[in-house]
Amino acid sequence: MKDVAKQRTIALISHGGSGKTTMAEAFLYFTKVTSRFGSVTDGTSVLDFEPEEIKRKSSLNTSFHSFTWKKNQITFADTPGGENFLNDTRTAMQGVDGAVVLVDAVDMVKVSTEKGWAFSDTFGLPRLLVINKMDRERADFFKTLENIQEIFTHPKAVPVVLPVGAENSFSGVVDLLRQKAFTYDQTGKATETDIPADMAENVAKWRDKLIEDIAETDDVLLEKFLDGHDLSGEELDNALRNAVLSGQIAPVTAASGLKLIGLDVILDMIIGLLPSPLERKPALGAASTDSAEEIAKIPEPSAPFSGLVIKTTVDPFAGQLTIFRIISGTLTPDGGFLNVSRGQKERFGQLLALEGKAQKAVEEAGPGDIVAVSKLKNTLTGDSIADEASPVVFKAVPPMEPVVSFAVEAKNKGDEEKVFAAINKMTVEDVTLRLTRNNQTKEMILSGMGQVHLDAMLEKIKRKYGVEVVLKAPKVAFKETIKGKAKVQGKYKKQTGGKGQYGDAVIELEPLPRGEGFIFEDKIVGGVIPRQYIPAVEKGIVEAMVGGVVSGNPVVDCKVALVFGSYHDVDSSEMAFKIAGSMAFKKAFLECTPTILEPIMLLTVTVPDEFMGDVMGDISSRRGKLLGTESHGKRQVINAHVPQMELLSYSPSLTSMTGGRGSFSLEFAHYDEAPAQIRDKVISEYKPQEEKE
């Protein structure tokens, strides 16, 4: 069995364009896993292998790979940094023990990096910071460090190295604790050199500050430090590691993934400062989905198997690939386990280690490993899997809620079935995609994390399944109601050569409070309408309500009382009274001051303090009603009721207003009366259609 103490499982996180994938490719090349340095720009990356990623030169999915450094196995997740794909990042981070956060030395901290940092907080992940792209023009280590320390206050960002040079002259790093300088050749090989004379004073200053920061995390060392005693290298190393593991310090280093500078320092920090599975708290779960009893799973290879599914991919030819983190126990090929989340047994053949696009069959895998099996029947992302004799359900993070929705249809007639089958397969792979049907507008609605997200998904559907999809702005599901009262008669009388038709119903129509729906009241006395015909009157009214009267939208919030009528012994029938009820309702509706109701959404926006005024002003311009605000650190949460039709393009607007640093969620709140201009527009657009029909 493998030595779990020599296992590291990490996620690379940051905003798009900061060099995560290039850094990961550099790790693979530097440790001789690959023979050529894969390039995102040239489309030769081992990790960005999907055609959509190659085209956009950006990660859209999390990729996994592993390598060995100083007899330690490092398994990593190269996560996407684009706003539209952060759910994939967050889900993958459930399967790692630490995070390496990259910050661009020119662009500094961006919103996706902030969100990745917040995910690390959620999962309690120790982290390292790498100021990357130090070789770029205008790269500034100290300015970027200041930006990091301003935004990320906990854990405390503390530099453990200083860069030697910057931009074109970036050539190496100085290890502050060991007071050694290293320069690098084109293969990433380090050579120890003297600390440059012009850096000596700065190195001494930053070294003193580093020692003080480390000492402050340990009461014994702090007392020794304050008493003026020197702290040994071993004491500082141990205290720094403990501070990283306990979430007090996030060490900062400098590097260039593209130039292979500083890679060995990062790798030494990963194995020296980030935890093995054994050093993480035991994973907590329950015996079943409805059990309150807590179970702790220890990452021992000899323990019963348990794991958590962190990603699912679907290929029309290869089938479904299920990717999971092993939390405890050891798996071997041709085995099985219980999907505890769904109560289903699963069998699998090969056990696969992930190498970007490729997979390699392995003979066993244990705690900390991220592996895959193919063609499971009932297992999806977020499911807990375990030995049948020792079941456990781990709490998986729910998918992020979609923020944009479009009506979706096949581009070519006859492809409808193929299109929706393809989309349904994609929803298995990407849990933030939602396909629903709006029963009122008869549209299929596709929801996702943004325009880029949906565009990339449609490109993938075209490539994988050979069908094209069209997105359109969805129709708003308006409703009709009334504001007045009326009493009318609906009489249906039809004489033919044989038996005629006769139905006569008098109704009283009045409004109900918002959200009350529909009430039908039978007030017939004296048998003026026989009992068997009264349900037919109600049915005619309900059918008229479904189709609407003035706009073709359903009628809600009204009460109908059937108060009088008449019948014919021979000619009356259920059909005649159904038509009479419909006629009476439509006539009464027009006399009751009809109006249009529009759906109102609860909008919750989270933004940094400085954008609060702009966002609130924008909400007001969208006919929104502010409900209140809450302060969450340096962020404000704004709650408002806003008409749905004003939010169809809210996602790009919020991104533009806040530089991508705002986020929002929507849920249906209620229906409310639309203003006159909206009401008149909805009604006028219906009339030509009504006349045509």
pTM of the model: 0.85
99: closest CA among 28, 8, 213? 8
Q: How far apart, in whole angstroms, are the C-alpha atoms of residue 114 and residue 316? A: 36
Q: Which two tokens stand for residue 557?
A: 């919030």
**What is the SS3 assignment for 454?**
helix
**Could you tell me which residues come within 8 angstroms of residue 679 by beta carbon, excluding any fewer than 6 positions away?**
595, 596, 673
Q: Does 333 or 648 have the greater pLDDT score?
A: 333
**What is the SS3 assignment for 556?**
coil
170: closest CA among 74, 88, 249, 106? 106
Contact 351, 385 (CB under 8 A): no
Range 648-670 average pLDDT = 87
Query: What digits encode the pLDDT tens for the residues 254-268?
Result: 999 999 999 999 999
Answer whether residue 416 shows pLDDT above 80: yes
Contact 399, 379 (CB under 8 A): no
State which amino acid sits at residue 241. Answer: R
**What is the SS3 assignment for 476?**
coil
Mean pLDDT score of the chain:
93
C-alpha Rg value of the chain to the nearest Å: 32
CA dihedral sign, ordered 256, 257, 263, 265: positive
State the pLDDT confidence band at 651, using cuts at 50, 70 and 90: confident
State which amino acid sits at residue 83. Answer: E
536: closest CA among 585, 568, 577, 572? 577
- Per DSSP, the residues of 38-81 read --TTTT--SS--SHHHHHHTS--S-EEEEEEETTEEEEEEE---
**What is the tally of helices (H) and strands (E) in the chain?**
16, 35
Q: How many other CB atoms are there within 10 angstroms of residue 408's CB atom?
A: 21
Q: Give rounded-to-5 percent helix, strand, coil for the chain.
A: 30, 35, 35
Query: What digits encode the pLDDT tens for the residues 132-143?
Result: 999 999 999 999
Range 70-84 average pLDDT = 94
Backbone angles phi, psi at 224, to 5 degrees: -65, -40
Q: How far apart, in whole angstroms, are the C-alpha atoms of residue 379 and residue 428? A: 10
Q: How far apart, in whole angstroms, are the C-alpha atoms of residue 624 and residue 615? A: 11
Query: What digits encode the pLDDT tens for the residues 284-308?
Result: 999 888 887 889 999 999 999 999 9
Least confident range of 39-43, 277-281, 286-290, 593-597? 286-290
**What is the SS3 assignment for 572?**
strand
The pLDDT of residue 497 is: 66
State the pLDDT confidence band at 693, using cuts at 50, 70 and 90: very low
**In degrees, to the nearest 5, what angle opens at C-alpha 281 toward C-alphas 253 and 62?**
55
The pLDDT of residue 692 is: 46
- Chain centroid to CA 607: 17
Backbone angles phi, psi at 330, to 5 degrees: -135, 135
Backbone angles phi, psi at 582, to 5 degrees: -65, -45
Range 31-38 average pLDDT = 95
Query: What digits encode the pLDDT tens for the residues 102-111?
Result: 999 999 998 8
Backbone angles phi, psi at 241, to 5 degrees: -60, -45
First to last CA, the chain: 74
State the pLDDT confidence band at 624, using cuts at 50, 70 and 90: very high
Range 435-458 average pLDDT = 91
Domain annotation for the chain: domains and CATH numbers: 4-170+248-279 (3.40.50.300), 288-394 (2.40.30.10), 404-472 (3.30.70.870), 480-592 (3.30.230.10), 597-677 (3.30.70.240)
State which amino acid sits at residue 553. Answer: N
Range 374-399 average pLDDT = 94
Query: What digits encode the pLDDT tens for the residues 342-365?
Result: 999 999 999 999 999 899 999 999
